[in-house]
Amino acid sequence: MRICRGSTSIDSHLSDGRVEIQKEGELKLIEKVFYFAYGSNMNHAQMNKRCPSSKFIKPGYLNNYKFIYDGQSKRWDKKAVANVVYSDGCQVWGGLFEINEDNLAALDCYEGYPASYDKEMLEVQDTDGNKHKAWVYLRTGEKPGTPSEKYRRKVKDGAKDCGLSCDYIEKNIIFFLGNRTSYTKE
């Protein structure tokens, strides 16, 4: 149980994973859900800023999707940003986070949902073999491109924060080439 001053909120974790919050006489149950980050949100400092109550669980992967940089983002110098697209037999590694509904609403804003990204509840498997239904932001119809170095560094640091393998980071995040036929430095 946590008691906060100010607006007087009392939080308690229920056995089914929900959180109970009381503010100025009203009681609200907040559902805990999973979120799968594969781009800059793997960066723990960024996630803590965007979603202060989020909790990193462990590395995980999404089957039958591949990691790409595509589209362009005003926030990142109009350069490409991370995305996942369906690709039979591929895997995307990332970080599995536990978040609440307020965190999900904040992520919707940061990810530009629904204008820039869609979101789907997909099955993510963690490193212990457990399967989780997790929210994943993705989009279709964007042209592969090159990210800014600042953005690529943010994603790479996040991949390290989440404990992804050096091989995965090198082949998918650092030396990404949209058609996946070879990996070269830019």
Instruction: Please state, rounded to an integer, the average pLDDT across all residues of the chain.
Output: 85
Do 106 and 17 lie in one domain? The reply is: no
Query: Is there a domain that residue 180 lies in?
Result: no
What pLDDT sits at residue 132? 98
* Whole-model pTM over 0.85: no
Same domain, 24 and 100: no
Q: Are residues 96 and 10 in the same domain?
A: no
Are 105 and 138 found together in one domain? yes
Q: Tokens standing for 97?
A: 């986070």
138 strand-pairing partners: 118
Give the pLDDT band of residue 99 (cuts 50, 70, 90): very high
Q: Which residues contact 171 (CB under 8 A, 6 or more apart)?
A: 183
Residue 64 lies in a domain: yes
Handedness of CA 128, 130, 134, 140 (dihedral sign): positive
Q: Are 16 and 8 in contact (CB under 8 A)?
A: no
Same domain, 26 and 37: no
Structural domain includes residue 183? no
What strand order describes the sheet that includes 19-23?
2-4, 9-13, 19-23, 26-30
| pLDDT class of 134 with cuts at 50, 70, 90 | very high
Do 4 and 66 have their domain in common? no
Does 66 share its domain with 125? Answer: yes
- Same-domain pairing of 9 and 65: no
Which residues constitute the domain of residue 15? 1-30
184 belongs to a structural domain: no
Asked whether residue 90 carries a pLDDT value surpassing 90, the answer given is yes
Q: What is the CATH number of the domain that holds 43?
A: 3.10.490.10
User: How far apart (Å, rounded) are the C-alpha atoms in residues 134 and 124?
Assistant: 6
Q: Is the pLDDT of residue 3 over 50?
A: no
Instruction: Identify whether residues 78 and 107 lie together within a single domain.
Output: yes
Contacts of 165 (CB under 8 A, 6+ apart): 93
Q: What is the pLDDT of residue 74?
A: 87
Q: Please check whether residues 9 and 78 belong to one and the same domain.
A: no
Is the peptide bond preceding residue 144 cis, with omega within 30 degrees of 0?
no
Strand partners, 74: none
Q: Which helix (H) or strand (E) holds 67?
A: strand 55-73
pLDDT (tens digit, 9 = 90+) per residue, 141-151? 899 999 999 99
Domain count across the chain? 2
Q: Indicate if 19 and 86 belong to the same structural domain.
A: no
